[in-house]
């Protein structure tokens, strides 16, 4: 079977060097690719991309622009807010290395399994103050800007502050507020901000209405005031930004945030805020056919992509044919194995026990895992492996893994359909931010948290995170991710970066919970194995698996369930059905992926964004 190289069948079956020939072929994508020579700015909200463009035009670098875009998306609410979390990868052109930013909040004082069980929870709740980890995005933004940017906090926050004064709200956010108003009404500070027409049939803003956030604007003004006062005292740009950081986490903003959280039944204390710190880390990396692929550490699900690529490297994917039944089955089974490891072994590396990441990411372990693939049928019982021997150690969790597998087996005979609640918890979106500049800086961010219906902390205007729900309360489910004060939950958020020949090759990320890495893997393979352009790769039909545990809500899974694109040929559908897959269909399955590809032959950037959602960008 010859590989289908494009969703529209327009690419010739030729041996192409990455990006050296395919850009002369006809372009038949639903969105045009972006091109730039000086900079590229892509994100989930058009207004936020404009904020990035404005920052570039002021002379900022890719980090400055990414921070401005992050601030703007946080001010637009639908998928995140200022009280959420920020995860980033930054390519530093002078050091010629990828740097990881860990700006995920931690469980507050008093957040223990016993506390949540005592309130009748199987997992920490999805909404409200008891769902909140400490806010990470403000600290993450200010740390990135101070360490790697060039501009002042005042200049970078200017677009977001203009938006807080009032911006025309989009239908997506306005309708999310209306749908979530019953939850919003539980929290007085949220109702004050979101429900602009109280008592009317529609209490949320109308699409296009000027949405004003006075409390948030006052908070952002306080950050700028702290920076400007420090500059007047002779402090450096970096020191002044950290003065604003301290005001947020140790000053009057922190005091009001903690008060507002506790007033509404939350746990976050002033000391929790003061103790929290952004971490600048080493990313994790594997190679796939000579390309270096970078992800954040195991406090995210990011390494699952690295594990999957290690398994897939053992097979000739290109010869299988793009989105053939054999190709889809191979990727699905490889992801089953890697995600089962994620579900049991990933957690905050700052807390014991130590995750066996060396073993999990070893090529030898991947080869052994690849031998478990059943080539005739889906394996609904795929469970975590034993990476410890690949570290020269003995697995202390063998009994737990055996019981984990037995528990899953007991759930399998009665297949449960993918109802709306399950799909919403599994695929709920956030956003992504991708920037690059001619000096060589590259930024990939997947921020999230504090989405509608958020609980706003007092008079700060800041919606609190809902990330506590990604913890577990039972060590039998994952001994590395049991809730504990000061600990970070294992999150789905997973920016990506790839280098080839020592230079940036791809910067890419997407929103949508547990489906992030499975679709990013397919995007990456579209380019590496099937020579698609970045825009074709963003739009190309992908499939989705639900065999891993959801990181949200009730933490459910659906073994064997798969969503295919409606373009999938009948013979592929029939073959996958024979192999035990339970198939559903969607018209658009590719993302939304946002990506930048680096055309070193011509010294330019190509930008891509999936053909659904509001994601897109600008280049120059």
Structure letter (DSSP) for residue 449: B
Tell me, what's the pLDDT at 605? 97
Contact residues for 148 (Cβ-Cβ < 8 A; gap 6+): 61, 63, 90, 92, 99, 441
Tell me, what's the pLDDT at 26? 47
Tell me, what's the pLDDT at 18? 37
Asked if pLDDT for residue 413 goes beyond 60, the answer is no
Structure confidence at residue 424 as a pLDDT band (50, 70, 90):
low
Run of H or E residues at 578? helix 570-578
Task: Tokens for 94, please give them.
Answer: 């002078």
Compute the average pLDDT of residues 322-336: 97
Tell me, what's the pLDDT at 19? 40
Structure confidence at residue 428 as a pLDDT band (50, 70, 90):
low
pLDDT in tens, 373-388: 999 999 999 999 999 9
Q: What share of the chain has pLDDT > 70, as a percent?
A: 91
Strand pairing category for 97-103 and 496-500? unpaired
- For 604, half-sphere exposure in the C-beta direction (CA atoms, 13 angstrom radius) is 13
Kindly report the number of other CB atoms within 10 A of residue 218's CB atom: 14
DSSP 137-156: HHHHHHHHHHHH--S-HHHH
Strand partners, 97: 92
Arithmetic mean of pLDDT over the chain: 92
Structure confidence at residue 79 as a pLDDT band (50, 70, 90):
confident
DSSP 323-392: T-HHHHHHHHHHHHHHHHHHHHH---TTSSSPP-HHHHT-HHHHHHHHTT--SSS--TT------GGGGT
- For 199, half-sphere exposure in the C-beta direction (CA atoms, 13 angstrom radius) is 0
Question: What is the residue whose two structure tokens read 């024979």?
Answer: 578
pLDDT in tens, 556-604: 999 999 999 999 999 999 999 999 999 999 998 887 899 999 999 999 9
Distance CA 414, CA 4 (A): 36
Structure letter (DSSP) for residue 126: S
Contact residues for 524 (Cβ-Cβ < 8 A; gap 6+): 288, 293, 305, 309, 496, 498, 506, 508
Task: Tokens for 225, please give them.
Answer: 């005031």
Tell me, what's the pLDDT at 6? 35
pLDDT in tens, 14-56: 333 334 344 444 458 888 999 999 999 999 888 999 999 999 9
Tell me, what's the pLDDT at 427? 62
Distance CA 3, CA 530 (A): 8
Compute the average pLDDT of residues 210-223: 98
Tell me, what's the pLDDT at 375? 97
CA distances (Å), origin 455, targets 74, 393, 486, 568: 14, 45, 21, 42
Asked if pLDDT for residue 229 goes beyond 90, the answer is yes
Kindly report the number of other CB atoms within 10 A of residue 392's CB atom: 8
The pTM score is: 0.94
Tell me, what's the pLDDT at 404? 81
Asked if pLDDT for residue 408 goes beyond 50, the answer is no
Distance CA 570, CA 573 (A): 5
Helix and strand element counts for the chain (H, E) = 22, 19
Tell me, what's the pLDDT at 491? 96
Asked if pLDDT for residue 11 goes beyond 60, the answer is no
- What is the phi/psi pair of residue 464, to 5°? -80, 155
Compute the average pLDDT of residues 167-176: 93
Asked if pLDDT for residue 487 goes beyond 70, the answer is yes
User: What CATH class does 22-35+282-386+424-429+490-619 carry?
Assistant: alpha beta
**Radius of gyration over alpha carbons of the chain, in Å?**
23
Instruction: Please check whether residue 557 is in contact with residue 546, taking contact to mean a CB–CB distance below 8 angstroms.
Output: yes
Task: Tokens for 180, please give them.
Answer: 């979530």
Contact residues for 22 (Cβ-Cβ < 8 A; gap 6+): 11, 16, 531, 532, 533
Question: What is the residue whose two structure tokens read 């270096």?
Answer: 292
Run of H or E residues at 565? strand 561-565
For Cα atoms 318, 582, 373, give the angle at the middle one, nearest 5 degrees: 45
Q: Where are the beta strands (DSSP E) in 511-549?
A: 544-545
Asked if pLDDT for residue 8 goes beyond 50, the answer is no
For Cα atoms 430, 434, 438, give the angle at the middle one, nearest 5 degrees: 170
Strand partners, 499: 292, 504
CA distances (Å), origin 493, targets 84, 102, 480, 551: 12, 11, 18, 11
The number of angstroms, rounded, from the C-alpha of 349 to the middle of its chain's C-alpha atoms is 19
pLDDT in tens, 249-304: 999 999 999 999 999 999 999 999 999 999 999 999 999 999 999 999 999 999 99
Run of H or E residues at 484? none
Tell me, what's the pLDDT at 511? 79
Tell me, what's the pLDDT at 452? 93
Asked if pLDDT for residue 405 goes beyond 70, the answer is no
Residue of 42, 41, 40, 10 whose CA lies nearest to 27: 10
Run of H or E residues at 564? strand 561-565
Strand partners, 167: 211
Structure confidence at residue 429 as a pLDDT band (50, 70, 90):
low
Distance CA 193, CA 203 (A): 11
Domain boundaries, the chain: 22-35+282-386+424-429+490-619, 50-280+439-470
Strand partners, 437: 39
Structure letter (DSSP) for residue 96: T
Tell me, what's the pLDDT at 167? 96
């Amino acid at each position: 079977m010859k590989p289908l190289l494009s969703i529209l069948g327009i690419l010739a079956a030729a041996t192409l060097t990455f990006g050296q020939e395919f850009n002369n072929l006809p372009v038949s994508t639903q969105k045009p690719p972006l091109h730039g020579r000086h900079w590229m700015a892509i994100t989930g909200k058009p207004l936020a991309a404009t904020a990035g463009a404005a920052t570039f035009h002021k002379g900022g670098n890719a980090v400055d622009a990414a921070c401005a875009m992050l601030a703007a998306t946080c001010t637009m609410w639908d998928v995140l807010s200022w009280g959420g979390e920020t995860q980033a990868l930054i390519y530093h052109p002078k050091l010629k290395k990828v740097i990881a930013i860990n700006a995920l909040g931690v469980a507050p004082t008093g957040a223990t399994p016993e506390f949540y069980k005592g309130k009748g929870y199987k997992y920490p709740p999805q909404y409200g103050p008891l769902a909140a980890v400490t806010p990470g995005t403000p600290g993450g933004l200010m740390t990135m800007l101070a360490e790697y940017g060039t501009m002042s906090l005042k200049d970078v926050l200017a677009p977001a502050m203009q938006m807080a004064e009032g911006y025309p709200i989009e239908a997506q956010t306005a309708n999310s507020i209306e749908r979530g108003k019953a939850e919003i009404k539980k929290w007085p500070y949220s109702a004050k901000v979101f429900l602009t027409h109280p008592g009317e049939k529609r209490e949320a803003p109308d699409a296009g209405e000027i949405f004003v956030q006075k409390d948030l604007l006052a908070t952002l003004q306080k950050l700028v005031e702290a920076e400007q006062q420090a500059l007047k005292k002779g402090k450096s740009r970096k020191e002044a930004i950290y003065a604003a950081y301290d005001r947020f986490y140790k000053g009057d903003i922190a005091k009001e945030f903690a008060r507002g959280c506790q007033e509404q039944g939350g746990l976050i204390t002033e000391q929790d805020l003061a103790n929290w710190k952004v971490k600048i880390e080493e990313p994790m990396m594997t190679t796939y056919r000579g390309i270096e692929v970078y992800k954040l550490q195991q406090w995210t699900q990011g390494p699952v992509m690295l594990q999957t690529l290690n398994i897939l490297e053992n097979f000739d994917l290109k010869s299988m044919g793009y989105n053939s039944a054999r190709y889809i089955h191979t990727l699905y089974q490889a992801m089953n194995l890697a995600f089962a490891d994620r579900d049991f072994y990933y957690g905050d590396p700052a807390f014991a026990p130590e995750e066996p990441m060396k073993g999990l990411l070893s090529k030898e372990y991947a080869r052994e895992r690849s031998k478990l693939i059943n080539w005739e049928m889906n394996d609904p019982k795929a469970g975590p492996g034993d990476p410890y021997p690949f570290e020269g150690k003995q697995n202390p969790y063998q009994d737990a893994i055996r019981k984990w597998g037995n528990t899953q087996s007991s759930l399998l005979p009665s297949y449960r359909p993918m109802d709306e609640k399950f799909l919403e918890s599994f695929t709920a979106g956030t956003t992504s931010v991708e920037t690059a500049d001619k000096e060589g800086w590259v930024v990939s961010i997947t921020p999230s948290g504090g989405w509608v219906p958020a609980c706003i902390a007092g008079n700060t205007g800041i919606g609190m995170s809902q990330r506590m729900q990604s913890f577990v309360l039972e060590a039998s489910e994952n001994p590395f991710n049991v809730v504990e004060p000061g600990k970070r939950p294992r999150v789905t958020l997973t920016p990506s970066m790839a280098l080839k020949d020592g230079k940036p090759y791809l910067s890419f990320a997407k929103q949508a919970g547990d489906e992030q890495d499975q679709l990013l893997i397919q995007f990456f393979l579209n380019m590496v194995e099937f020579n698609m352009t970045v825009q074709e790769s963003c739009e190309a039909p992908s499939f989705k698996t639900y065999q891993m545990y959801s990181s949200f809500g009730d933490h459910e899974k659906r073994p064997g369930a798969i969503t295919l694109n409606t373009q999938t040929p009948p013979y592929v559908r029939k073959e996958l059905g024979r192999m035990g897959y339970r198939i559903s269909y969607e018209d658009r399955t590719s993302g939304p992926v946002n990506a930048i590809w680096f055309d070193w032959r011509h010294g330019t950037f190509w930008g891509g964004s999936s053909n659904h959602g509001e994601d897109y960008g600008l280049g120059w």
